[in-house]
Amino acid sequence: MKEIIKNLRVVLIIFVVLSCSLLIGLFIQEQRSQEELMAVAGENKIALAERYGQSAGAIVTKDNYIIAESVDGKRVYPDKPYSDPYIHLVGDYTHNITNTIECVYENTLLGSQRNIIEQFLLDLSGKGIHGNDITLTLHNGISQVVAEQMRFTGYKGAAVLINWKTGELLAAVSYPAPAYYNLINYEDLEDSSLYNRVLSGSYAPGSTFKMFTAAAWLDSDVFDSDYTVDCHGVSLVPNGPGNINGLSHGVLDLNRAFSESCNVFFGSVGNMMGENYFLNYLNNLAFSEPITLDRLNVRRQKADISVEDAGTLAWFSIGQPIANSELNITPLTHCTYVSAVANGGVRMKPHIISSISNPIGRIVEDIKIEEEREVFSYETAQDLRTIMENAAVYNGLSFDSYTFGLKTGTAEVDGQSGNTSLINTYLYDDEHPYALTMILENSPGSHYLIPFAQNIYREAIYQSP
């Protein structure tokens, strides 16, 4: 009997240790699950649907258009085509696209990570289980116009409209866009329609890159305001780029070369600066540094020259990487640089979240308008403005008395029959401080975009938030 008692004591200790381990293990697993498993793409879709339908807050635009809301236990989204401007950014509860508001702001929308006091107070109000509402900086009227213009072109691509004074995103459309029904059920999806080109698209910048080449030259020791090139359509450096169809521009200075988008001039300027200086300048601009759109990720841009060769550098300087050089831009990031030009060289931190309010209407998080960094000096920005505004006039982007800045670009892409057309513009107006980047894949050319940009600006001014 003594032995049995002794054994019982030993087993008791084992069981107590086991129970404590179980309790601690449960706690650890719960914490670990919150950190690791809730974010995985393989989340339980049925539970997600129910949970969102049950308690997720609404997502609305700044002009109160409801993009997502929970009604009678179901998550409701707009029908096509009204969903087109939002589907890539807002996403849906299935998280089939992960870099979206619905996915990244899941805890906010479901109200699952509030502090205890706030949660308790909300519980007392009877609204504790409901999630927070999110108001976006997007403007529905403008977004629908941008989406309509993108649809009208019929080409895959992206368009971003930013308020260059505040960094607020007013429209960000990726085309093509699936219908919500198809996204949720993951069926009948057009090729690459789930791809958010605004945040993740990677494009050779073409001549829009000349804005950076010009800025670098303006800030360099080798800058000469009287420098001119006599353009015969053929590159001045070996293996460098000539103009399309060998077009001869004659004698050009920076201003005219920018408006004409002369490859010969900018190829020559690039070589004048040298590879090291140019790449250092781009680094100082944070060209390749990643940016974020609140909690959304934005693809990193790249700029690198593979070989020290005058021709390669010349191609690089006009925004067309060759050999193993890397040069690509992301529509949103590209737009922030043209915004900086309009904003005196200061790039504002881009935002898509305007405010987050809890179920009783109290704003728990508000947009913070803040400068991200000065990417161009004020003087350089002013010089860039001058040449870009001249380019706008030269290329016919104008209406009423508004002042626009513009740089167009066309990039050749391997394996693509057409070119990638790009346009990087801003509207210099205190009441309508908009910057627009538009990119179309496999399209006729950059000038094709100008009328669409003009339409977008016109409607944006008309529907001014």
Partner 1 sequence: MNLQDTAYILRYLFIILICSSAIQLIRLAIKEFKWGLNHALRPARGYFLIAYQESREKSDIRDRMTKAMDKDSYLINLNTDQMDKINRANEHELRLRSDISQYELSRGEHKTRTRMQTLALYPTTIIGRSRNCDIQIKSKKILKRHCTVYRYDGDWCIRPQSSFAKVKINGVEIDGETELRNKDQIDIAGIRFDFIDERSSAKQAGMDYSAAKIDDRYFKEAVKLSSKRPRLSFLFFNSFALITIALLTYFIPEDFGKHRMIVGLVLISTIVISDLYYIALNKILYYGDRILLLSVSYLSTIGLLIQCRFSFFRNPWFIGQKELGDSEALKDAVRIMVTRFYVQAGAVILGLVLILFLSIIVKKTRFLESLTIVCFIVTPLFLIATKVLGRGMEENGADLWINIGPISLQLTEFAKISYAIVLASFFKNRPRLKMQIFFALWAAMVFFLIMLLPDLGSAMILLPTTVIVFVIMTSEYFKGLLIVLASSLASVLAYALFPHVQARIAGWTSLWVEINPRNAQIIYGLQAVARGGLLGRGLTNGNPWGIPLFNSDMVFSILCEEFGLLVGLAIVVFYTIIWLRTGRGAALARDGFSATLILALGTMLFVEATVVIGGTTGLLPLTGATLPFIARGGSSILAKWIMIAMLLGLLGRQEAGANRL
**Site residues, partner 1 (CB under 8 A):** 1-9, 11-12, 15-16, 18-19, 22-23, 25-27, 29-30, 32-34, 36-38, 40-48, 50-51, 54-55, 73, 112, 119, 123-124, 126-129
Task: CB nearer to partner 1: give 53 or 444.
Answer: 53
Task: CB nearer to partner 1: give 1 or 221.
Answer: 1
Q: How far is the CB of 184 from partner 1 (least distance, A)?
A: 14
What tokens appear for 72 in the block? Answer: 């009678």
- From the list 436, 434, 438, 424, the residue with the least C-alpha distance to 465 is 434
Evaluate whether 209 touches 327 at the Cβ level (below 8 Å). Answer: yes
Q: How far is the CB of 60 from partner 1 (least distance, A)?
A: 22
**CA end-to-end distance (rounded Å), the chain:** 86
Task: CB nearer to partner 1: give 108 or 263.
Answer: 108
Q: How far is the CB of 44 from partner 1 (least distance, A)?
A: 4
Q: How far is the CB of 87 from partner 1 (least distance, A)?
A: 24
Task: CB nearer to partner 1: give 42 or 246.
Answer: 42
> In 3-state terms, what secondary structure has residue 357?
strand
Q: How far is the CB of 94 from partner 1 (least distance, A)?
A: 12
What tokens appear for 347 in the block? Answer: 């790039």
Q: How far is the CB of 67 from partner 1 (least distance, A)?
A: 23
| Amino acid present at 167 | G
Task: CB nearer to partner 1: give 44 or 280.
Answer: 44
Long-range contacts of 83-86 (CB under 8 A, 24+ apart): 83/177, 83/179, 83/180, 84/147, 84/150, 84/151, 84/173, 84/175, 84/177, 85/138, 85/140, 85/143, 85/144, 85/146, 85/147, 85/171, 85/172, 85/173, 85/177, 86/138, 86/143
- From the list 135, 118, 136, the residue with the least C-alpha distance to 127 is 118
Task: CB nearer to partner 1: give 73 or 81.
Answer: 73
> In 3-state terms, what secondary structure has residue 250?
strand
Evaluate whether 300 touches 321 at the Cβ level (below 8 Å). Answer: no
Contacts of residue 234, defined as CB under 8 A and 6 or more positions apart, other chains included, come to 242, 246, 264
Q: How far is the CB of 78 from partner 1 (least distance, A)?
A: 22
Task: CB nearer to partner 1: give 15 or 399.
Answer: 15
